[in-house]
Structure 1
Amino acid sequence: MQILDFLFSYGPWAWIIAGLVLLALELVVPGGFLLWLGIAGIVTGLAAMVQPLTLPMQWGLFGVLSLVAIFAWLRFTRSRPQVNDRPYLNRRADRLIGREAVLEDPIAGGYGRLMLEDTVWRVAGPDLPAGTRVKVVGAEGTVLQIEAV
């Protein structure tokens, strides 16, 4: 009941204040959606100042503006390509696909070890003797899939 009393006593300013509070909350609790609710509240307050609206119409305008703003933002952000200067940052094994190396230890039973760059990797592939030149053709987690060159 206090919310309705607040809305009736301050009219359009209540929407503007609520919008500003939502914008301030966005700074504390980031997530993106409070930003659009705050903007919708401010626009609703400005619309109520320009054209007198009943309370149900104000709530309806606020709801429609909120939904439109959130859905438009989600559509915009999901359609943008993800630009990354380090596409293999947390996928070191994928970065090694296509590299060639020489086996120091033989592969027996389908698994072995291979030294690439500064790391010893577990490798899976056909049984091969030490000294065989191999190529990395895939990765499953931290196990490199190899084949003889």
Structure 2
Amino acid sequence: MEPGLIWVLAGLLLLLAELILPGIFLLWVGLAAIGTGLVQLAVVTTFAMDATCFLVLLGAGIWLSLTLRRGRPPPAAQVNAPGAGLIGRSGILLPVERYGLRVRIGDSDWPARLPRDMRVPEGPVQVRVEAVDGTTLIVKPE
């Protein structure tokens, strides 16, 4: 069997392993092995040239992945947090019930409280969400 085909086969097996195992590192090793095999099929090379080609391709792949990753902004800290999309939204403060204050935003009712220095206004009042404490919304009248 041609040594170049062995490199390509090993690279394909590494790419298959990448699908099974978590992570992304085997992707670059597999692509470097496939690239080395294609170079070896095109040009007659020595073992030292094969090893150098493999290491250069592997280094280039890792450098490329780090460069692409550096350009992306970090993920938002509030992903899937209950209040991630609620701060700044308007709602209606519902009359006081036995469970405490509640505010209706869209089609959902949320437990709410006013800042410590405010009293509960009478009747339904338009409020704006200022902050979130757990699942309790901190609201101020508009």
What TM-score results when the alignment is normalised by the length of structure 1? 0.66
Q: How does 1:131-146 map to 2 (within 5 A)?
A: 131=122, 133=125, 134-146=127-139
Deviation (angstroms), 1:41: 0.5
Greater strand share, 1 or 2? 2
Report the AA paired with residue 92 of structure 2.
A
2:57 equivalent among 65, 83, 90? 65
Task: Provide the secondary structure at the position in 1 that maps to 2:96.
Answer: coil
Task: Provide the secondary structure at the position in 2 that maps to 1:53.
Answer: coil
Q: Is this contact kept in 1: 2:93–2:101, CA < 8 A?
A: no
2:119 equivalent among 128, 138, 143? 128
Deviation (angstroms), 1:51: 2.5
The CA distance in 2 between the partners of 1:131 and 1:63, in whole Å, is 73
Superposed CA offset, 1:82-138 (max 9, x none): 9xxxxx8723423222213224239xxxxx632323333243513322536332122
Report the AA paired with residue 102 of structure 2.
L
Q: How does 1:17-36 map to 2 (within 5 A)?
A: 17-36=9-28
Aligned residues: 131
The CA distance in 1 between the partners of 2:39 and 2:64, in whole Å, is 20
The CA distance in 1 between the partners of 2:113 and 2:84, in whole Å, is 13
The CA distance in 2 between the partners of 1:69 and 1:80, in whole Å, is 17
What TM-score results when the alignment is normalised by the length of structure 2? 0.69
1:102 equivalent among 89, 93, 101? 93
Q: Is this contact kept in 2: 1:103–1:130, CA < 8 A?
A: no
Q: Is this contact kept in 2: 1:12–1:49, CA < 8 A?
A: yes
Q: Which has the higher contact order (CA 8 A, sep 6+)?
A: 2
Task: Provide the secondary structure at the position in 1 that maps to 2:132.
Answer: strand
Deviation (angstroms), 1:47: 1.0
Q: Which structure 1 residue ranges, 4+ long, deviate > 4 Å from structure 2?
A: none
Q: How does 1:18-57 map to 2 (within 5 A)?
A: 18-57=10-49
Structure 2 CA distance for partners of 1:124 and 1:56, relative to 1, 3 Å:
farther
Report the AA paired with residue 41 of structure 1.
A
The CA distance in 2 between the partners of 1:51 and 1:26, in whole Å, is 28
Q: CA RMSD in A?
A: 3.1
